[in-house]
Structure 1
Amino acid sequence: HAAAVLGNGASVSPEEPLLPAPGFLRLDGATGYAEAAAAPLHADRSFTLTAWANSSDPTRDMAVLSQGTGTTSSVALRWHYLGVDPYGGGPMGEWQATVADSDSPTAARTTVAHTSNISVLENWTHLALVYDADASRLTLYVDGQRENQSCEPDASDCTPHVSSAPSVRPFDAGAGLEFGRARTDGNWTEYFAGSLDDVWVHQGVLSEARIAQLADYNVELDTPN
C-alpha cells in the first residue's frame, strides 16, 4: 500500500465518470506519470495487474502500467499503435502485455496482444495482465475476456487470435509501480495520454471470474486496507 507520487503533467480529477468512488488519474502524454514509492509486487512470482484506461490520443505507443527503473521494464501493459484504419480513417492498434527476463536491452521478452481495435479514443477499456509462474504463462484480458481462437495447421482462411502464450520469467525489478510510462534503453518513454482508474495489484493469479468482476463497472468490490 505504498503511496503514489504524481509527476509533472499528472493530476487527480475529482469527478468520476466510471466508478462509484470519486477521482481518476489524468495524464498529459508528455511528462505526466505517477510512481509508487515501493515495489508492490515481485515480478518473478505469479501476479496480476489490472486497470481501466481511456486514451485521448491513441496514435502512438503508450504505457498504462510498468515496473522497473533501470534499463528496461520488467513488466509493461501498453497500447501499441498500428496505423490508420483504411476503411474508417481512425487510429488502429492493439493492447499488449510484455515481460522481460533481465534488465538489459538484449533481454528475452514475451509479448501477448489482443486483436487490433479500430480506436480507443474516448473509450474506457479494462485491462488485466496475468503472469502464472507455475505454468510459465502470460495472459492478457481486455474487458474481462481473453482471446483463444486458434487455427488448424492447414487452415488457410483462419486468423488465430490468442492473447496467452508460454512466457519467460520476468526479472524482479525491485522498484515501484509506474503509472503512464515505461522504461526503454534507460529512458522513460511511452507516456500515456488520457486517464487511468481503479488499478489493482495482486501477488498471485486472479481467476477469470474475478477479472470479469473487475471489468464490470456495475460490480463494486471492497478494496483491502
Structure 2
Amino acid sequence: MSVGLSVVLPKRGYPTVASPGDVNSATGGPDGKPDLYATDIAGQLTEYPGAAPSGTTAAFDAPVSLGTVTDTAAHRWKLDDGTGTSAADPTGNSPATLTGGASWTTDTDRGTALNLNGSTAYAATTGPGVDTSGGFTISACVKLNSLSGTNSTFVSQSDDPSVGAANGFQLYYSSGSGVWAFGRHNDDTTSTAFTAAYGAKAVAGKWTHLVGVHDADADRLLLYVNGRLSATKAYAGTTWNAAGPVQFGRRLFQGTYGEYANGRLSDVRLYATALPPADAAAPGGNPALTQLG
C-alpha cells in the first residue's frame, strides 16, 4: 500500500528529506506520530511534526525552522565519556575535570550523562569558554532531580579569581520561583546585583533543553526552553568579561562557590556569538538525515 504525503517538498529546493520516526512533538517528546525533516539548499533544517493521518495520507503540523545543520559551537562537552575523571571537549580542546563526587551515570533516555549530587559535585575546565563581554550562547540538556531545596546551577563561567568574584553567566533552576533561568552578574565585584531572565516552570525528572543567549548588541538576555523562547530581560549591568573556568554543576557568587546542581547534565555547547532565533530554538540533538529517492 502506498502512502501519500500532504507536504510537497520539491527535490530541487530540498535535496535532503527524511523521517527518523517519532522523535518529537509540540510538547517536546514523542507522541506516536512520525515526523519529517528536510534541509534546503542553504543548509537550513525544517521539521514537520507528525499529525493524525487522513486515510492513507500522512499529515503534518505547521513547519518549524530548526536553524542551520552545521553546528558552530566553539566548545562542546557531550558528557558521555563514561569512565575516568575528564569530560572531553573535542571541539574546543578544553576538557573539564570531575570533582567532589561528580560521576558518570547511565540514563534511560540519554545514555551516559554527568551525575551531580546537589552538594559537592561539579566539573570545571582550566580556562574560560567564551568572552562574556560580547555576544554568546550556552546550550545544555538538564534533568532536575527535585524542585525542593536551593537553586541548581547546571552551567556557569566564573570570573578570574585574581580579579573578581562573580559569574559571567549562569544557566540554572531558580527554586524561589520554581522556574528555569538564565542570568549573569552585573559586574565582577562582590556586589549582589545580577540580571536574570526567568522562564518556564521547571519539571523534575524530565530532560529539558535550555539555551541562554546574551545579545550584546541589544543588551538583553534570552532564555529558550525546549525550543521555545521562554523569557527575555534587558541586561542592567556593565560590559565585562568573566575570564575564569567553565563550571558544570555550580556557580561563583561573592567569591564563594555554591548552588550545586541536583540532577544530571548532558551535551553542553558554548557559542562565541548570540545565536539567531532559529538556531537558538533548535533542539539539542537533531536526528541525522539521509538522502531519499
TM-score by length of 2: 0.61
User: What amino acid is aligned across from residue 143 of structure 1 in structure 2?
Assistant: N
Aligned residue pairs, count: 191
Structure 2 contact 129–157 (Cα < 8 Å) conserved = no
Q: Cα–Cα, structure 1 residues 170 and 77, in superposed 2: closer, same or farther, change >3 Å?
A: farther
Structure 2 residues not aligned, in runs of 5+: 1-91
Shift in Å, 1:218: 5.0
Counterpart among 160, 165, 169 of residue 233 in structure 2? 165
Give the number of the structure whose residues are more often strand, by fraction: 2
Structure 1 residues not aligned, in runs of 5+: 83-91, 148-162
Structure 2 contact 224–281 (Cα < 8 Å) conserved = no
Q: Does 1:146 align with 2:214?
A: no
Partner of 1:12: 104
Partner of 1:86: none
Shift in Å, 1:107: 5.8
Provide the C-alpha distance between the structure 1 equivalents of 2:129 and 2:286, rounded to a whole number of angstroms: 27
User: What amino acid is aligned across from residue 102 of structure 1 in structure 2?
Assistant: D
CA RMSD of aligned residues (A): 2.0
Q: Cα–Cα, structure 1 residues 41 and 55, in superposed 2: closer, same or farther, change >3 Å?
A: same
- In terms of mean alpha carbon deviation, does 129-138 or 98-107 score higher? 98-107
Partner of 1:64: 154
User: What amino acid is aligned across from residue 196 of structure 1 in structure 2?
Assistant: L
Provide the C-alpha distance between the structure 2 equivalents of 1:110 and 1:178, rounded to a whole number of angstroms: 19
Q: Percent identity?
A: 28
Q: Does 1:80 align with 2:174?
A: yes
Partner of 1:27: 116
TM-score by length of 1: 0.78
Shift in Å, 1:125: 0.7
When Rg is computed on C-alpha atoms for both structures, the one with the higher figure is 2
Partner of 1:153: none
User: What amino acid is aligned across from residue 172 of structure 1 in structure 2?
Assistant: N
Counterpart among 222, 234, 251 of residue 182 in structure 1? 251
Partner of 1:54: 143
Shift in Å, 1:170: 5.0
Shift in Å, 1:16: 4.8
Provide the C-alpha distance between the structure 2 equivalents of 1:143 and 1:57, rounded to a whole number of angstroms: 19
Q: Does 1:212 align with 2:284?
A: no
Provide the C-alpha distance between the structure 2 equivalents of 1:3 and 1:220, rounded to a whole number of angstroms: 26
Q: Cα–Cα, structure 1 residues 219 and 208, in superposed 2: closer, same or farther, change >3 Å?
A: farther
Q: Specify which structure has the bigger relative contact order, considering alpha-carbon pairs within 8 angstroms and separated by 6 or more residues.
A: 1
